[in-house]
Homo-oligomer: A and B are copies of this chain.
Amino acid sequence: MVLVDKQKINSILDSYGEKFSIATICSHSSLQLFKAAREEGVKSIGIVQRDKKSLYESFPLAKPDEFIVVDNYADFNPSDLVSNNAIVIPHGSFVEYVGEKVDSLEVPLYGNRASLVWERSRDKMFEWMHKAKVRTPKILKPEEISGPALVKFPGAKGGRGYVIVNSQNEFRLRVGDKKCMIQEFIIGVRAYPHYFFSPFNNFGYKTSHGALELLGVDKRVESSADEIARAVSAGMHPKMAFTVIGNEPMVLRESLLQEYMEIGKRISDVSFDLFGGMFGPFCIETIISEDLEIYAFEISARIVAGTNVYVNGSPYSGFYYNEPMSTGKRIIRELKSAAKNRKLKDIIY
């Protein structure tokens, strides 16, 4: 869909002045965001499905200040947000539930909404990664399948529906003509770095347009893949699935950090060439092989749920901040500082 006019968003921001609230859908990483807003004295609005309101009311330090109750997550009214001076923080569930309607949504979104368009398409995402000269799994045509390959369908949510095929024949039988991307199966261990890009920073890892922080690293927990060995050892032969059910903390070998920051820098730099830049939190989903080669297979152009592991800060965030710094709190701080310096328009679209 056509993106809402940036001037439209700017004029909404003008109407806000310095005073803003934050809003998001009650899911994904919203508790972390509401908690941070509360701590930073910023009003928060939770868009919540009727049957989940009691859950979000149950956290005294992480409930939103105000609820917008909807029957369906996509059914909120942008003008209710604008009238509350709200800046929307898009997270994974927001992007999923709102879908392409986000493009035309007449409410300010933290970050560059063009980045969500690039995140949405696996083809565009690989174009982005390749322009950034980041190593990725090979993309295969059906006739190039010669061993295990991972088949991913458009908009697969939280890893659901990925399929592994072992041959062209199995591909024909299980996938057929469905639109999909076929990726080389990489053997290694996954790691999900949580980057934060700010155009205002005078510290962090310098990029062409600002600087990067590394606020944490997690590993997604996927069902059934993460305990598939139990089933195999029990004598079963189940098809492996990759549904994300949670996240766990990890730290990277320190000698890998330089390459991770370089990868982050190049992805950030290329985002400016392709669509005017990506602002705030992002994640590059990676696999590290036994030869310490890093393969990227996805970009999340917004806060990822893995940051929920570090609501109280991470081993990395302490290298930048003297206090527990979650990605949620980092976002609120960025917005407060931009509002104070009248630079919200630089990081919001």
A interface list, Cβ under 8 A from B: 27-31, 35, 51-52, 54-55, 58-62, 93, 147-148, 158, 160, 164, 166, 185, 187-191, 203-206, 211-212, 217, 219, 221-236, 238, 240-258, 261, 288-292, 305, 308-313, 315, 318-322
Contacts and interface: CB of A to CB of B under 8 A. Distances in A.
A309 B312 CA distance: 14
Given A35-B318, A245-B252, A234 B240 contact: yes
Contact of A224 (B28, B52, B189, B203): B189
Contacts of A242: 290
A346 to B, nearest CB: 22
Given A58-B261, A249-B309, A289-B224, A185 B231 contact: yes
A221 B291 CA distance: 14
A292 B203 contact: no
A240 B233 contact: yes
A61 B319 CA distance: 5
B311 A318 contact: yes
B233 A232 contact: yes
Contacts of A244: 253
B247 A250 contact: yes
Contacts of A238: 187, 233
A248 B246 contact: no
B27 A254 contact: yes
A107 to B, nearest CB: 22
Nearest to A251: B308
Contact of A228 (B51, B211, B233, B255): B233
16 contacts: A27-B254, A29-B254, A35-B318, A35-B319, A58-B261, A60-B203, A60-B320, A62-B318, A164-B234, A166-B235, A187-B236, A217-B246, A243-B291, A246-B251, A248-B251, A312-B318
Given A61-B321, A250-B221, A230 B230 contact: no
Nearest to A188: B223
Contacts of A251: 246-248, 308-309
B164 A52 contact: no
Nearest to A29: B254
A62 B214 CA distance: 13
A188 B224 contact: yes
- Residue among A187, A292, A321 with most chain B CB within 10 A: A187
Given A189-B221, A222-B189, A318-B311, A246 B253 contact: yes
Given A231-B185, A236-B187, A319-B31, A55 B261 contact: yes
A258 B251 CA distance: 28
Nearest to A321: B61
A190 to B, nearest CB: 7
Given A58-B211, A166-B235, A249-B309, 15 more contacts: A27-B255, A51-B258, A61-B322, A158-B253, A160-B290, A187-B224, A187-B230, A189-B245, A228-B233, A229-B229, A232-B233, A234-B240, A243-B290, A246-B253, A247-B251
A194 to B, nearest CB: 13
Contacts of A288: 223, 245
A315 B309 contact: yes
Contacts of A227: 187-190
Nearest to A211: B58
B250 A248 contact: yes
